[in-house]
Every structure is written in C-alpha cells, then in structure tokens.
Amino acid sequence: MNKTTRRHFLAKSTLLSSVVLFPSLMIQACSAGKTAISSSHSNALEVIDKEVWFADHLVNKEYRVIPADPLFRYFSGFPAIKSVQDVPFPWKKENFFGGNGGFLTDNVYLEPGKQWVLQLAISTPGKSDNTMGSPQYKTWYRISVNDGKTFTALKQVIIDGHTSMNPINNVQIGRNGFNVDFTRPIVRASNGEIMIPVGLHPWDEVNGKIYRPVNNAGLFQDAGVLIASWLPNGKDVEWKFGEWLRIDYNQSTRGLSEPTIIETNTLGRFAMVTRCSNSGRPDLPGYAWVSFSDDYCRTWSVLKPFTYSDGSNFFVPTAHSTLFKSRKSGRVYWIGNINETNPIGSHPRYPLVIGEVDLENFGLIKNTVINIDTRYPEIEGPLVQLSNFKIMENGKKNEILVVCTRIEGTHSANHPSWYRIKLP
C-alpha cells in the first residue's frame, strides 16, 4: 500500500473506528487518520486527534510523536529505577521493572497538597510476563518527600506482621509472588488510604506447584488490593492487606488478572473489575468480572459479570481494562476491548473503546461508549492487538491521551499509536 492509498484508506477508516458502536455520533475525518474532528453532541466522548502506527513498518509514514504538552504528564524527571539490582535472597540479583513515562498507570502516587511521592516497581529473577518469571514477582516501593527529585532506596513491600520471605498472605519467596501491573491508576480513598490493585500467583499446596487448574490456559491469578498509609512525616508508609479474591476456574480459566478499582458514590464502597478468560474453554462466556467491597478494600463480594448499566452483557477478550476518575469532572470511565461475539481467549483484542460508568448501578453506560480505534482489515490481520494501553490525563483540560503499541503476531509497531480524547 503506497502513501496516498494509505492516506485515503485511513481517512475513510477514521469514520468507522470512532463511531462503529453508535452511528449517532457524527465524526468528520481528516487525511492520514491523524485527526477525528467534531461531534454532534457537546456532552459526548470524542477522539479529537490520533496517530495510528502499524506493526507492518512498511505501511507507516511520517510519525507524529506523543504530544509533548507537560500538562499530560502525571509526573516527570524522576530518577530511573535500575534494571538489575541486588536482592536479599540467595540468588543475589533480580531484574527490576518500573514505569517512568508520566502515565497515570505507571504505579506512581502523588499525595495531594504534599511533596510526598510513592512509587512501586516489580522484580523477578527471570523474564517478565512469562510462565517462568511472572510467578516469582516481588513488589517494591520507594518514597520521595521533595516531589520526586530524590528517593529512598527501594524497599520490599511487607504487610504488617509479615516477613521478607513471607511478605503477604499466601506468598512465600522462592515459590510464588505477587505484583502490581502497569495498566491502572493507584486510587486515593475517601479516608486518605492509598489503594493499589495487585495480583497473586497462587500456590497449589496439593500438587506442590503454581496453581494452574486448566491445562493450556495460561497462568492463573487471584486479585486483591494493597493498602498504604503515610507515616506522619511522609518518609515511609505502613502496609495493610485484606483478602485475596478468587474466581472458580469454571467461570474464568485464568482467574482474576490485572484488577482495576474505583470508589463509588458511597464512602468506603469500592468496585474491582478484573481481566478474566475462557482460554482452553471457548464454551465459557468471555466477560470481565466485578466485585464490591464495603470496607475500604478489606473484603470482597461474590463476583458477577461486569455489564452495561441496564444489566445487559458484553463480551471482552483476555485483555486488561482500566477504570479511572476524571480529576476535572469526577466522572468515571472504563477503557478496554469489547467484542461483538464471544472471544476465544485473548482474541480479538479490538476494538478499543471508552465509555462512562454509572456508579449507582455500576455498569457501563451503553450510549456513551465510542471506539477509540479498531482493526484496519486492509492492513492488519484478525490477531492484531489494541491492548496494553496506558493513560495520561491533562492537568487543566478535560482530556486524556491513550497510548497503545499495536502488536500483530510476533511483530510490534516501532512507535506507539496515540489518541487524544475529549471527556464530557
């Protein structure tokens, strides 16, 4: 496909990628898929600018970098977390991973009205995000009292009453681990506590190995929420934890992964939405699942499918999603993949959508949902992934940037796609 053909194709596809779910949203597209312009509803979500960059590198031309507007950066200039560090375990060193791009989803928390910063990272003696390295994840943190100019050394997250070898319920170092993910914001609760969603790689005591109840379905996880409280001087935090939440493998073959949380309109009542899966069991419905806590993330209700606010179901693949609250309006939004038909495990991972959440009925408000982007069938195959996105929020305007690197098979785009979205 030459440059001119690509421009004409993307100009037409912009119409589809922004209004597929709801044709009443009128979008005028400009050339090269760069911008979606104007909406017939001033009170609607709207993609107002975008840069699409494909995994097929030969198709791409003239990349526009992610907007440099510093108002979109949640933080900046933090000293980097070293990628390999000493650890107090027999194997001596581990690989460390910490976000430092200024995204809301980089596991950084800024205390309002203070110069206090809490940043989290993970480590493993193996490679990240595979069946050998992931079960060995450990969670670490560091503190700044001067807006991130300097930090303490990384410390292991250890729940009150636990030890470095048993840092949290159901974890034993060298056997299994727990971790934060780089896919959702940390949440400040109404009581001032800091809520951090985490995942557990549970241990199968009967068989003496990592719990994997469904063959060929991938790693299984439980979900929970770390609770941090500042010491009076802001130089450290105390760690607490409630309980791990598990789903039956006959509902989700890979358990509950990449949890995302939000406090509802009732103080202390939290909702947790998790990635689930029908991998290995395509007869199961592919849903995201939701649970509720009425005690500031200590205990959790029986899980149920995350639905539209009218109670109707929608399908999602095995891919993360994110809840976040606009700092300008206080409205809550959900970003993820929605499928028209039941997915098979991780596919299809498109379209990528955003919609507002009704906090009273706790569901996705159907008539607010728009496509951020979807597959371009003349360029991409059915296994393209529009997932693993990150979010930036403008500090003054009611706008966000969603950043997503497209993946197709074993090929990744060499630049991220990005989407500037106006929030109502």
- In-domain check, residue 413: no
One domain for residues 309 and 243: yes
One domain for residues 214 and 271: yes
**What residues are paired with 222 via a beta bridge?**
200
One domain for residues 255 and 347: yes
Q: Tell me if 370 sits within 8 A of 22, measured CB to CB.
A: yes
Return the CATH number at 347: 2.120.10.10
CA distance 217 to 107: 28
Greatest Cα pair distance in the chain: 64
- In-domain check, residue 168: yes
Which of 13, 39, 55 is the last residue in one of the domains? Answer: 55
One domain for residues 30 and 102: no
One domain for residues 243 and 128: yes
Q: Tell me if 143 sits within 8 A of 118, measured CB to CB.
A: yes
pLDDT at 164: 97
The enclosing H or E element of 131 equals none
pLDDT at 229: 98
One domain for residues 11 and 141: no
Q: How far is CA 383 from CA 96, 252, 419, 422, in A?
A: 30, 21, 21, 29
- In-domain check, residue 70: no
One domain for residues 219 and 278: yes
- In-domain check, residue 416: no
**What residues are paired with 26 via a beta bridge?**
none
Three-class SS state of 253:
coil
pLDDT at 130: 87
Residue linked to tokens 């506590």: 193
- In-domain check, residue 298: yes
- In-domain check, residue 135: yes
One domain for residues 35 and 181: no
Give the sign of the dihedral formed by CA 31, CA 37, CA 39, CA 45: positive
**What residues are paired with 403 via a beta bridge?**
390, 418
CA distance 196 to 226: 5
CA distance 58 to 408: 14
pLDDT at 14: 44
- In-domain check, residue 256: yes
One domain for residues 93 and 40: no
The full DSSP string for 143-188 is EESSTTSS-PPPEE---TT--SSS-STT--TTT--EE--TTS--EE
Instruction: Give the HSE-up count for residue 156: Cα atoms under 13 Å, Cβ half-sphere.
Output: 23
pLDDT at 57: 85
Three-class SS state of 51:
strand
pLDDT at 43: 79
CA distance 282 to 297: 32
One domain for residues 24 and 89: no
pTM score, two decimals? 0.91
CA distance 219 to 276: 11
One domain for residues 270 and 148: yes
CA distance 206 to 184: 33
Which of 337, 359, 375 is the last residue in one of the domains? Answer: 375
pLDDT at 327: 92
- In-domain check, residue 29: yes
Count of C-beta atoms within a 10 Å radius of residue 353: 24
Three-class SS state of 417:
strand
pLDDT at 21: 52
Residues with Cβ within 8 Å of 115's Cβ and at least 6 positions away in sequence, in order, are 144, 145, 146, 147, 234
Count of C-beta atoms within a 10 Å radius of residue 409: 10
One domain for residues 8 and 93: no
Beta strands in 264-349, from DSSP E residues, in sequence order: 270-275, 289-293, 304-305, 322-325, 332-337
DSSP letter for 36, please: E
Number of domains in the chain: 2
DSSP letter for 266, please: S
pLDDT at 23: 36
96: closest CA among 88, 80, 84?
Answer: 84
Q: Can you give the residue range of the structural domain that contains 204?
A: 81-375
Split the chain (424 residues) into runs of 10 and give each run's mean pLDDT.
45 44 34 42 87 94 96 97 97 96 97 98 93 94 98 98 98 97 95 98 97 95 98 98 98 98 98 97 98 98 98 97 96 98 98 98 98 97 96 96 96 97 97
